[in-house]
Structure 1
Amino acid sequence: MTTSTLRGPLPPMDVADRADRVRASLDGSGADALLVTDLTNVRYLTGFTGSAGRVLLTADRMVLVTDGRYATQAPDQVATAGVAAEVEVGLTLGEQDRVLAGAVPPGARLGLEAASVTWAAQRRYGRDPWTSELVPTEDVVEAVRQVKDDGEVARLARAAGIADAALAEVAPTLVDGPTEEAFGFALDTAMRRLGADGVSFETIVASGPNGARPHHRPADRAIGEGDLVVIDFGALVDGYHSDMTRTFQVGEASATQQRMYEVVAAAQADGVAAVRAGVAAADVDATCRDAIAAAGWAEAFGHGTGHGVGLVIHEDPRVSRTSTAMLAPGHVVTVEPGVYLPEHGGVRIEDTVLVTDEGCRPLTLAPKDPAPPTPA
């Protein structure tokens, strides 16, 4: 993806179809209606991006409530998304409760999103004006979110392309000895300048011994000769995240550092090759983990191989040894094995890929040469 393709219109997403897909998934939840309180799920179902809002989903209605700050934004975004929802704005919390409770069909069991409802909120939903039997639910909307439509994939690919271009622009400066903080700031700035709405998460720049800490926060350490530098970052586009890690070798590598890179690169390539619809996510993890264990570094790879990516940077399906997920077309996951040795540094290589029936399509395309690129 060239910089000339990093801006401009993106194809529409099929937001209108999502409510029916979630309704179908309610069958096994024990609930007849669902109160959606997780803001990411509210956005997914309605297109509304405000910081406060709830959705009631029944067999034949969807009701969005929010406060007066979003009197214009909420109905506009719902209409733009093409969603058939009733929108009630300018309401106090008590008024919202009355609207939502009144929309629950008599005798219906009301599902609450267990992961996003506090104990205090649960107690409130158990008293007037709420009269329904409450049922805890898990992953009803999240399970539907796992499969991305073409519009979502386009946003993920745009975010990945921006990250690719930003790294190509900034990586040559590694040989100049910037601090981790300065390099991370430059990378974040480049992503925004190239069209990102923001960053996916706090950029990781981990050099030398800091590279042995998988989630190191950038510090004032200057990158120097002989350092491995782990760079884990992503761009945000229209709510969708990218996620990529590249590791660079500044100066001459030791024999151990060279072997670390070769082992991780081979394990990561094998893991990407193993991704395919119908494959167990745990098997992809095992592919990477077995390759690293065969090199004698099983204990130096202490995290999962990957995770889903979408409206949240870490979402299902998980790609780990304990995962029970089966990969399906439309899943978007990362493959990111690593080796971390405090006396030598760390190596992690990560791509975000779209699962297909034939295998997978990488969305992150930055080169994996450990030598920092020369300025263009």
Structure 2
Amino acid sequence: MTTGTPAPFTADDYKARMDRAARSAADAGLAGLLVAPGPDLVWLTGYQVPADTERLTLLVLAAGQEPTLVVPALEAPDAAKSAGASAMTLRDWTDGRNPYELTAPLLDVSGRFGVSDNAWAMHLLGLQHTLPDTSYVSLTEALPMLRGVKDAAELERLAAAGAAADATYEEIKKVTFGGRKEKDIARELADLLRQFGHEQVDFTLVCSGPNGADPHHSPDDRVVQDGDMVVLDFGGLKHGYGSDTSRTVHVGEPTDEERRVHDIVREAQTAACDAVRPGIACQDVDRVARKIITDAGYGEYFIHRTGHGIGVTTHEPPYMIEGEEQPLVPGMCFSVEPGIYLPGRFGVRIEDIVTVTEDGGRRLNSTARDLAIVG
């Protein structure tokens, strides 16, 4: 298991990210980027807004222009302490002033800007009212790979998060499943993730028996029964970077059909992971997994994409799905998680995080992918 605390990102790291983002925006024909509180702002500056505030906070990035963070005056001291503060200018505003008029001089009055996806509509409409000739496009649409390729320090954090999730799985297999509520087992998963270093738990899915046919079933009061297949899917953030893994276990001895379905999913997942290499399209990873499941007669029961990117959030571009022609490049990290879901009966999913290397792919999860028997 990866141990220790990685060195923090520096002001130079954040400056390099902001400079690269501004250049990428210019290359995409944008006048700049407008980044609201959320994962993009944290990744670019290291600044985590203290609360979900309604007051405008906005990072303005444009090629040839000093990065500027427009921030409420009462939050400016916290912003000034962020790791990337020295790489940007702070422009604060006080209640009673119009923050959009304060921001307007930083923008090309007729430019087209990329806007982070989680920006408040209130703020975007305020900017449009102040600068009616500007236009906007979502950051994911304009620069889907802004955070998609990870550097060595980011990969170290992702590996540590993956190792912590693996340790969690090894421990949860030791607990009693039969006769207990799904939500109680989910609570244990969350406790274990924190025990192994996660500062944030995003999800702990425990999907037993017929609930396993719902890929995003929220654990509830259902009591796990002897003979249940149980899909476990859990993850969160460690050192600011994500984990996400799925394994399927069985309470007692499985039937021949349950073993067969699990074997098909495992074959599909292994083949898709083995297919990862630079130059192939994201959709090719999906195609490999989907063909195996379809050829086995279960294609209609594989009802979601094969994978999603992961980084400072547990779901982000790129996506492993038909129609996504983005080629894989070294440093990309994403899940590979095919599944089969039989309505009213059971489901199976197996998931690892994979990073693209110079000559193939490397899994960041290493726990056994066989059908584990639990009590």
Structures share fold, TM-score greater than 0.5: yes
Measure, in 2, the Cα distance between the counterparts of 1:307 and 1:145.
13
Measure, in 2, the Cα distance between the counterparts of 1:337 and 1:163.
19
Corresponding position of 1:64: 69
Measure, in 1, the Cα distance between the counterparts of 2:178 and 2:116.
50
**Is residue 179–residue 219 contact of structure 1 (8 Å, CA) maintained in 2?**
yes
Measure, in 1, the Cα distance between the counterparts of 2:228 and 2:123.
50
Structure 1 residues not aligned, in runs of 5+:
none
Superposed, which structure 2 residues align to 1:161-310 within 5 Å?
Answer: 161-199=163-201, 201-310=202-311
Superposed, which structure 2 residues align to 1:28-107 within 5 Å?
Answer: 28-37=27-36, 39-50=38-49, 51=51, 52=53, 53-59=57-63, 60-77=65-82, 80-81=83-84, 84-89=87-92, 91-92=94-95, 94-104=97-107
Superposed, which structure 2 residues align to 1:306-345 within 5 Å?
Answer: 306-345=307-346
Measure, in 1, the Cα distance between the counterparts of 2:114 and 2:299.
41
Superposed, which structure 2 residues align to 1:100-139 within 5 Å?
Answer: 100-104=103-107, 109-113=111-115, 115-117=117-119, 120-128=122-130, 130=131, 133-139=134-140
Specify whether residues 133 and 371 from structure 1 end up closer, same or farther in structure 2 by C-alpha distance, changes over 3 A only: closer
**Is residue 174–residue 372 contact of structure 1 (8 Å, CA) maintained in 2?**
no
| SS of residue matched to 1:215 | coil
Deviation string, structure 1 residues 282-302 (Cα, Å, up to 9, x no partner): 111010000011111111111
How far apart are 1:348 and its partner, in Å? 0.3
**Is residue 263–residue 291 contact of structure 1 (8 Å, CA) maintained in 2?**
yes
Q: Percent of aligned pairs with the same residue?
A: 34
Corresponding position of 2:351: 350
Query: Residue 12 of structure 1 is aligned with which of 9, 25, 29?
Result: 9
How far apart are 1:114 and its partner, in Å? 7.2
Question: Which letter maps to 1:272?
Answer: C
Kindly indicate whether residue 160 of structure 2 is the aligned counterpart of residue 158 of structure 1: yes
How far apart are 1:237 and its partner, in Å? 1.7
| SS of residue matched to 1:358 | coil
Question: Which letter maps to 1:327?
Answer: L
Measure, in 2, the Cα distance between the counterparts of 1:157 and 1:194.
13
**Is residue 15–residue 45 contact of structure 1 (8 Å, CA) maintained in 2?**
yes
Measure, in 1, the Cα distance between the counterparts of 2:99 and 2:69.
9
Instruction: Kindly tell me the number of residue pairs found equivalent between the two proteins.
Output: 366
Structure 2 residues not aligned, in runs of 5+:
none
303-312 or 91-100, which moves further after superposition?
91-100
Question: Which letter maps to 2:115?
Answer: E
Deviation string, structure 1 residues 272-328 (Cα, Å, up to 9, x no partner): 001111111111101000001111111111111001111222211100122222111
Specify whether residues 29 and 358 from structure 1 end up closer, same or farther in structure 2 by C-alpha distance, changes over 3 A only: closer
How far apart are 1:252 and its partner, in Å? 0.9
Specify whether residues 110 and 63 from structure 1 end up closer, same or farther in structure 2 by C-alpha distance, changes over 3 A only: farther
Measure, in 2, the Cα distance between the counterparts of 1:346 and 1:356.
31
Measure, in 2, the Cα distance between the counterparts of 1:57 and 1:47.
15
Deviation string, structure 1 residues 192-247 (Cα, Å, up to 9, x no partner): 12221111x22110011111111111011222221111000113123321110000
Question: Which letter maps to 2:244?
Answer: D
Q: What's the TM-score once normalised by structure 2's chain length?
A: 0.90
CA RMSD, aligned part only?
2.4
Measure, in 1, the Cα distance between the counterparts of 2:355 and 2:298.
29
Measure, in 2, the Cα distance between the counterparts of 1:93 and 1:142.
36
Measure, in 2, the Cα distance between the counterparts of 1:73 and 1:38.
13
Q: What's the TM-score once normalised by structure 1's chain length?
A: 0.89
